[in-house]
């Protein structure tokens, strides 16, 4: 869905160019184009659509310790997996599912808003001419080139309550807190995964916004300044509206990326992050691969995918106009 | 847009795709193995030049090289080559499961003792019942260890015990001395255990009395269950049909451990670490008392193990686990077994290798290298006699207990682990408010989930 919406502007562009060539040559050209994209389409169908369809099919099967080896031959369960996840209060896994939904929503909200706000703030700071600006911009990009795995391992050490640098700074050096908080357990563990996620996402958001800011015609700001608009009003009424398409695209991918986050919570908190930080992906992974409940896992995956489809639909409605402008 | 969920879906599909293929091919294989299985018992007519593939997990510092060296005499004697392949603990469960259902894999694999019933139920492994007499059968092993080769309610011997571990109490002799505690009576029963920690807390303030890992540890359940058993509780009913982890006795056991956190005797910052990290805290001199396996004893003499600080390395004492109100002290006994895949083309050679790995000398040499205990009684006894600390472990193994050998145990253990983790977290003040009702609610939830898992069926 995302791909098709983003593709529409180029199509419109090529339609304008086409009328110059008419009749047969055009059809031959189209055929040639189909041949060119055929391998890519075949590849997509094979590694993407077929497994997705397989996953959806599995969500209608009763797959457990005793049946998963039969895979597609496993007993048909119809909508049972979905019903028990969503409506069966006697299902011991239902609470865990809704807990994970809630945690994923919280995680996604804070990660995406933190990344976008922080990225924009840094981009505004770096959008000026000053000595060493290239070096600073390059340095700001470093979290982006660190693999998620390394990010998670590094932060896991930094968060440790007795020897980690975070508590050393908060308690021993600055005395901001008198008692050492435990970061990797309980309610704090949600922040322990949100903060590294934001830290890692910032550079990309920053470079995105920086590109937008630099493409912005300076005359608008100059004219507004002459009319007496202060920096805040210029930001509010000029910068922000012009950045709207960029924000839209980042929102779309940011939410999808965060909702499907796995590496950081899994590495930092283990396959079972506990009730305060268990995300959809850690839940699905754990129930499928550690507990052989592939039917549950597949149904939960499909529900997550459906939620993302809804999100894309909402997003499309909200930002449709902005995309047409680009 | 559905890219990421598609990855999950394709991962599931790709991982299991061979299963469907294997399901068709599996039957032919089993027919051929049974026919060749009969002439196995007749004698050592092994095919020279055959290469067996053996999967091992990272048991020792150089897992592949160490084991490869260990089987050299076998190759010299029989002409059967062994290709040792290392499979990490993080992936071994998936890989053995996939090998069993797909029929694509090695001839022999190591498997954790509590995993054996699950793998056996998959149907991809040889029943070794006809052959076990050649190595002395059940009598050659401690009860708790032999039980790990069986599946509840089913005939058959699906594995051969390879090496063994049990949990005992590690303590710092110097800390006990400073606190004026006699090691002989320090850990005799649960009350003494708690009093000892209390005294250490009061008299030796520069060390944490006790620490254990939380939900990040893969073996959290092994650490909690001894206290449950001591109080007369159990994980499942004797017929393994119903969860009993929410019984009052079991709750008392869990509360004993959580109570140590509440009383400040259990360093709560250890809860965010995994098992190895907490082990290193004991070796690094931050903990006075810790519960662990025999491998730590084995690492004392290793100069290159720099996780030890000298004062800890030189003052290690080992005591059996405390006894409960019932007068009996329990500990978890585990380790690893060897399983032969049904799809192997060389069942006789594979069995010969298992036999070789069960010989007294090989058992002792390999166990020593690992810092584990041999699985068989005779060599076990010999290792036990080597020192006072080793004797404590030998005794622990004899009274050791393991879980019901049912295919669903691994899942149930995961469910229990989650709930035990939540309880310890709340005792540490980072979860729900700690109270008896909280513990009860978590254990009820654990039992409910376990009952759901027990009710799974093939139909």
pLDDT digits (tens, 9 = 90+) for B399-457: 889 999 999 998 999 999 999 999 999 999 988 889 999 999 999 999 999 999 998 87
pLDDT at B19 over 60: no
Interface test with A, best of B3, B7, B8, B449 (most A CBs within 10 A): B8
Whether residues B272 and A66 touch (CB distance < 8 A) is answered with: no
CB nearest to A51's CB, from B13, B19, B23: B13
Beta strands in B208-343 (DSSP E): 208-210, 287-292, 316-319, 331-340
Whether residues B453 and A312 touch (CB distance < 8 A) is answered with: no
**Distance, in angstroms, between B41 CA and closest chain A CA?**
32
Instruction: Please name which of B337, B278, B336, B288 lies closest in space to residue B311, comparing C-alpha atoms.
Output: B288
Whether residues B16 and A260 touch (CB distance < 8 A) is answered with: no
Chain B residues with beta carbon closer than 8 angstroms to that of A55 = 5-6, 8-10, 12-13
Q: What is the DSSP letter of A69?
A: G
**Distance, in angstroms, between B335 CA and closest chain A CA?**
20
CB nearest to A260's CB, from B5, B448, B452: B5
Residue range B376-385: mean pLDDT, rounded = 92
Q: Is B26 on the interface with A (CB under 8 A)?
A: no
**Distance, in angstroms, between B370 CA and closest chain A CA?**
26
**Distance, in angstroms, between B82 CA and closest chain A CA?**
29
Q: Is B4 on the interface with A (CB under 8 A)?
A: yes
Instruction: Please name which of A102, A175, A223, A280 lies closest in space to residue B5, comparing C-alpha atoms.
Output: A280
Chain B residues with beta carbon closer than 8 angstroms to that of A301 = 5, 8-9
Chain B residues with beta carbon closer than 8 angstroms to that of A288 = 12
Q: What is the chain B residue with the closest CA to A252?
A: B1
Q: pLDDT digit of tens for each residue in chain A (326 aa)?
A: 344 444 444 444 444 444 444 556 677 788 999 999 999 999 999 999 999 999 999 999 988 888 877 788 888 988 999 999 999 888 888 989 999 999 999 999 999 999 999 999 999 998 888 888 888 888 888 888 889 899 999 999 999 988 899 999 999 999 898 888 899 988 899 999 999 999 999 999 999 999 999 888 888 888 888 888 888 888 888 888 889 999 999 999 999 999 999 999 999 998 888 889 999 999 999 999 888 899 999 999 999 999 999 999 999 999 888 777 54
Yes or no: say if B266 and B278 are a contact pair by the CB < 8 Å rule: no
B111 strand-pairing partners: B337
Yes or no: say if A266 and A283 are a contact pair by the CB < 8 Å rule: no
Q: Is A148 on the interface with B (CB under 8 A)?
A: no
Interface test with A, best of B3, B7, B9 (most A CBs within 10 A): B9
Q: Is B19 on the interface with A (CB under 8 A)?
A: yes
Whether residues B8 and A281 touch (CB distance < 8 A) is answered with: yes
- For β-strands B373-374 and B160-166, DSSP reports them as antiparallel
Residue range B377-391: mean pLDDT, rounded = 91
Q: What is the chain B residue with the closest CA to A162?
A: B269
Chain B residues with beta carbon closer than 8 angstroms to that of A160 = 269, 272-273
Chain A residues with beta carbon closer than 8 angstroms to that of B101 = 69
Rg of the Cα trace of chain B? 23
Instruction: Tell me the pTM.
Output: 0.82
Instruction: Please name which of B241, B164, B274 lies closest in space to residue B447, comparing C-alpha atoms.
Output: B241
Give the model confidence (pLDDT) of B92-102 as tens digits: 988 999 899 88
pLDDT at B247 over 90: yes
Q: Is A270 on the interface with B (CB under 8 A)?
A: yes
pLDDT more than 70, % of chain B: 90
Compute, in degrees rounded to 10, the torsion defined by CA atoms A248, A252, A255, A258: -120
Q: What's the CA gap between B196 and B227, in Å, rounded?
A: 16
Residue B44 structure tokens = 């050592």
Per-residue pLDDT, B109: 96
Q: What is the mean pLDDT of chain B?
A: 87
Residue range B297-322: mean pLDDT, rounded = 91
**Distance, in angstroms, between A216 CA and closest chain B CA?**
30
**3-state secondary structure (DSSP) of residue B376:** strand
Give the model confidence (pLDDT) of B105-130 as tens digits: 999 999 999 999 999 988 889 999 99
Yes or no: say if A106 and A189 are a contact pair by the CB < 8 Å rule: no
- Contact map slice: B 103-122 vs A, CB within 8 A: 118, 121-122
Q: What's the CA gap between A169 and A158, in Å, rounded?
A: 10
Per-residue pLDDT, B358: 94
Q: What's the CA gap between B295 and A237, in Å, rounded?
A: 67
Q: Is B93 on the interface with A (CB under 8 A)?
A: yes
Whether residues B421 and A48 touch (CB distance < 8 A) is answered with: no
| Dihedral sign for Cα atoms in the order A46, A47, A53, A58 | positive
């Amino acid at each position: 869905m995302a791909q098709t919406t983003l593709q529409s502007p180029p199509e419109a562009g090529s339609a304008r160019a086409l009328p110059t060539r008419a009749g047969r040559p055009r059809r031959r050209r189209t055929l040639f184009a189909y041949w060119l994209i055929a391998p890519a389409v075949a590849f997509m169908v094979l590694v993407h659509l077929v497994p997705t369809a397989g996953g959806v099919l599995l969500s209608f099967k009763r797959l457990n310790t005793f049946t998963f080896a039969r895979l597609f031959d496993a007993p048909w369960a119809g909508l049972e997996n979905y019903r028990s996840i969503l409506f069966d209060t006697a299902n011991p896994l239902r609470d865990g599912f809704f807990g994970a939904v809630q945690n994923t929503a919280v995680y996604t909200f804070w990660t995406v808003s933190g990344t976008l706000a922080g990225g924009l703030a840094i981009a505004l700071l770096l959008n000026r001419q000053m000595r060493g600006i290239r070096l600073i911009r390059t340095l700001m990009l470093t979290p982006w080139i660190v693999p998620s795995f390394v990010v998670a391992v590094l932060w896991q050490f930094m968060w440790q309550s007795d020897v980690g640098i975070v508590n050393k700074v908060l308690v021993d050096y600055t005395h901001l807190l008198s008692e050492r908080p435990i970061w990797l357990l309980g309610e704090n563990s949600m922040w322990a995964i949100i903060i590294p996620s934001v830290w890692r996402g910032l550079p990309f958001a920053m470079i995105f916004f920086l590109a937008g800011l630099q493409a912005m015609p300076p005359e608008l700001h100059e004219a507004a300044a002459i009319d007496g608009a202060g920096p805040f009003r210029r930001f509010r009424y000029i910068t922000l509206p012009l950045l709207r398409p960029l924000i839209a695209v980042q929102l779309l991918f940011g939410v999808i990326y965060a909702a499907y986050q796995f590496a950081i919570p899994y590495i930092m908190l283990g396959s079972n992050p506990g009730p305060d930080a268990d995300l959809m992906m850690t839940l699905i992974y754990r129930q499928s691969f550690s507990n052989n409940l592939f039917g549950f896992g597949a149904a939960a995956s499909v529900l997550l995918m459906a939620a993302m489809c809804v999100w894309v639909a909402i997003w499309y409605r909200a930002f449709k106009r902005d995309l047409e402008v680009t | 847009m559905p890219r990421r969920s598609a990855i999950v879906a394709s991962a599931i599909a790709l991982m299991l795709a061979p299963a469907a293929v294997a399901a068709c091919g599996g039957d032919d294989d089993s027919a051929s193995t049974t026919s060749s299985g009969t002439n196995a018992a007749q004698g050592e007519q092994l095919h020279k030049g055959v290469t067996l593939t053996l999967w091992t997990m990272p048991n020792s510092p150089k897992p592949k090289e160490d084991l490869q060296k260990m089987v050299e005499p076998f190759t010299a004697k029989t002409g059967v080559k062994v290709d040792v392949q290392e499979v990490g603990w993080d992936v071994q469960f998936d890989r053995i499961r996939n090998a069993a259902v797909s029929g694509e894999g090695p001839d022999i694999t190591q498997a954790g003792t509590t995993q054996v019933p699950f793998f056996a139920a998959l149907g991809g492994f040889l029943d070794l019942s006809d052959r076990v007499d050649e190595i002395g059968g059940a009598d050659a092993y401690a009860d708790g260890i032999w039980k790990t080769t069986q599946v509840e309610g089913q005939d058959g011997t699906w594995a051969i015990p390879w090496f063994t571990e049990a949990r005992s109490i590690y303590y710092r002799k110097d800390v006990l001395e400073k606190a004026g505690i006699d090691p002989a009576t320090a850990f005799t029963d649960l009350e003494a255990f708690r009093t000892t920690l209390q005294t250490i807390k009061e008299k030796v303030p520069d060390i944490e009395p006790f620490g254990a890992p939380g939900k990040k540890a893969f073996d959290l359940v092994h650490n909690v269950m001894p206290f449950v058993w001591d109080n007369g509780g159990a994980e499942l009913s004797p017929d393994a049909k119903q969860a009993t982890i929410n019984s009052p006795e079991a709750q008392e056991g869990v509360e004993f451990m959580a109570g140590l956190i509440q009383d400040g005797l259990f360093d709560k910052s250890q809860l965010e670490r995994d098992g190895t990290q907490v082990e290193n805290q004991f070796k690094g001199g931050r903990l006075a008392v810790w519960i662990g396996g025999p491998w730590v004893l084995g690492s004392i003499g290793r100069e290159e193990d720099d996780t030890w600080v000298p004062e800890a390395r030189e003052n290690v004492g080992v005591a059996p686990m405390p006894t409960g109100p019932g007068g009996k002290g329990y500990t978890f006994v585990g380790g690893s077994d060897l399983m032969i895949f049904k799809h192997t083309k060389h069942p006789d050679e594979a069995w010969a290798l298992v036999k070789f790995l069960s010989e007294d000398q090989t058992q002792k040499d390999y166990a020593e290298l690992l810092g584990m205990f041999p699985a068989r009684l005779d060599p076990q006894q010999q290792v036990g006699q080597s020192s006072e600390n080793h004797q404590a472990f030998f005794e622990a193994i004899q009274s050791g207990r393991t879980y019901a050998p049912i295919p669903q145990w691994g899942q149930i253990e995961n469910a229990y682990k989650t709930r035990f983790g939540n309880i310890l977290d709340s005792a540490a003040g980072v979860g729900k408010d700690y109270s008896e009702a909280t513990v009860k609610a978590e254990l009820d939830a654990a039992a409910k989930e376990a009952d759901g898992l027990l009710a799974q069926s093939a139909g």
